[in-house]
A and B are shown apart, each in its own frame.
Chain A
């Protein structure tokens, strides 16, 4: 295996890894606010991307507009879901909310299939097809574009979480909801904001990845790898989500080179099982302490 080929594999691994990282970030944003895993994250991504695609197919608008439409649709979807379904169940156990999001993922996937059929659609890409040649290394613009755009988005999120009132409120709620409420933070507004933000991040990830994996009602399954990425980095931690995503993307792309190809599809799950057994807190995380 030449170095050039290896670089190529690692770069495309980092590209899929960026998407996993974005999915992991959305899951962590919601987990930090509502203390539950959002099983419907992938389906929310899929629906918003489909809405953007419908506008594109009807009106042939530029891609930037498609992205904006997807983002607005995602924001609306996230807000409605939180207000209509999650807010009612938030007083009960996280287990209940988990089941609700599970039901929601079934409903959204099925509804998308009924609206847009279960076929796969080619999705337009922001980035050209002509490979970029750096000496012996040939890189696909899509990979570089995905990595670049994701890094930009992550930087934006970092700025949001460290430099804005809303971001600080969200971090406070993640640390301790009761204390946050006593400090005058509207925890309900943070719930809404978290669902909207997670949904928007998902939609951007969807627009970025759709040209690569095709647009289909099944594309929401990418969220499972997002969850594995979040666990890999230490669930609940944003830097962990980024590191975990990149790591998983690279492992997933490298593993078939060294292992029998028949286990290719199991790689993310084997990674999950391994990390849960060896280091349940994730590579960056600390072992969880339980308070009585």
Chain B
């Protein structure tokens, strides 16, 4: 049952650059980038019930790491740059996750919000490394002898990486680790009583979430080609939260759907910047009041009849 659907989806993704105009190829790459962030955030918020308003900070760490690696060592394979971005963000996630173990609920949300602000301020001030407010131009991604200089090439890179991340997430949530994270969401105390090592798994959730977002950041750097600190403000973090709320907390396909809906919506509202937050806010409120569980649970209900 599932394989034909996956095959059709894969064929659609491969065929997209031939069917769509170049701009929509670029847009599709952004959808993939945001979907990876949404999955990472959902592993933390949806699965482990730790709300983060600082994922734009992790995205910035990943993006700047990849960009700086690619600038310092020209010709470095894009895979290495992405891996460095992932590791850099994961390290920051570890550094933030361990002290955040003491926090829950609102406190955690606020600590991560503060983290996001501090990252942006750090980027502005570390001019020797990040060029501050002037922005950083990202060199073309290289894979061995090829330069990924076109939107189509970068799109395929994003799709390949994205597919791997989705596959990994789908498998992760079915393992012992995934079940431990779900147990923590339902009740920390019950989970602990059943032998789930709370500190270990909550930190792990933070690190994995940061790692996902770091990879997305690296892709973002190469797809967009130019980084500046104001692209990573707190409203981006809010957008990520909106993606998983609209898509569905605790669902990998839901994360992808939410990222797709909000990214496309965001883009189609580009000419109406003043109305964008109005619509996003209304969408958040409406999903909470009328569609708790997001797109994922709405689809599940439709299937169930």
Contacts from A to B (Cβ < 8 Å): 36-37, 85, 88-89, 92, 94-96, 98-100, 102-111, 113-114, 118, 224, 227-228, 231, 235, 262-263, 265-266, 269-270, 272-273, 276-277, 280, 290, 292
Tell me if B51 and A95 are in contact (CB < 8 A).
Answer: yes
Residue in contact with A292 in the complex, picked from B189, B245, B288, CB distance below 8 Å: B189
Residue of A96, A109, A262, A280 touching B277 (CB-CB under 8 A): A109
Residues of B within 8 A of A (CB): 49, 51, 99, 102-103, 105-107, 109-111, 113-115, 117-118, 121, 124-125, 189, 238, 241, 245, 274-278, 280-285, 288-289, 292
Q: Which of B105, B121, B241, B280 contacts A266 (CB 8 A)?
A: B121
Distance of A228 Cα from B285 Cα, bound (Å): 25
Q: A98, B121: Cβ atoms under 8 Å? A: no
A89 to B161, CA, bound (A): 38
Q: List A contacts of B115 (CB < 8 A).
A: 269, 273
Question: Can you list 6 A-B pairs with a CB-CB distance of less than 8 A?
Answer: A88-B289, A103-B284, A105-B281, A110-B275, A114-B278, A270-B118
B99: contacting residue among A103, A269, A277, CB under 8 A: A277
A98 pairs with B109, CB closer than 8 A:
yes
- Distance of A269 Cα from B53 Cα, bound (Å): 13
Assess the B288–A103 pair: CB atoms within 8 A: yes
Q: Which residues of A contact B241 (CB under 8 A)?
A: 99, 102
CB of A137 to closest CB in B, whole Å: 33
With A98-B106, A106-B280, A276-B103 given, is the CB distance from A265 to B121 under 8 Å? yes
Q: Which of B106, B124, B238 has the most CB of A within 10 A?
A: B106
Docked Cα-Cα span, A95 to B275, in Å, equals 26
Asked, given contacts A110-B274, A231-B107, A269-B114, whether A103 binds B121 with beta carbons under 8 Å apart, the answer is no
Query: What's the Cα separation between A99 and B117 when bound, in Å?
Result: 20
Q: Are A106 and B121 CB-contacts (below 8 A) given A92-B292, A98-B109?
A: no
B289 x A269 contact (CB < 8 A): no
Closest beta carbon of chain A to B117's beta carbon, Å = 5
Contact A111 B285 (CB under 8 A): no
Q: Which of A95, A108, A118 has the most chain B CB within a 10 Å cutoff?
A: A95
> Which chain A residues lie closer than 8 Å to B105 at the CB level?
94-95
**B189, A107: Cβ atoms under 8 Å?**
no
- Name the 6 nearest CB pairs between A and B, nearest first: A106-B281, A103-B284, A107-B281, A269-B114, A110-B278, A110-B277
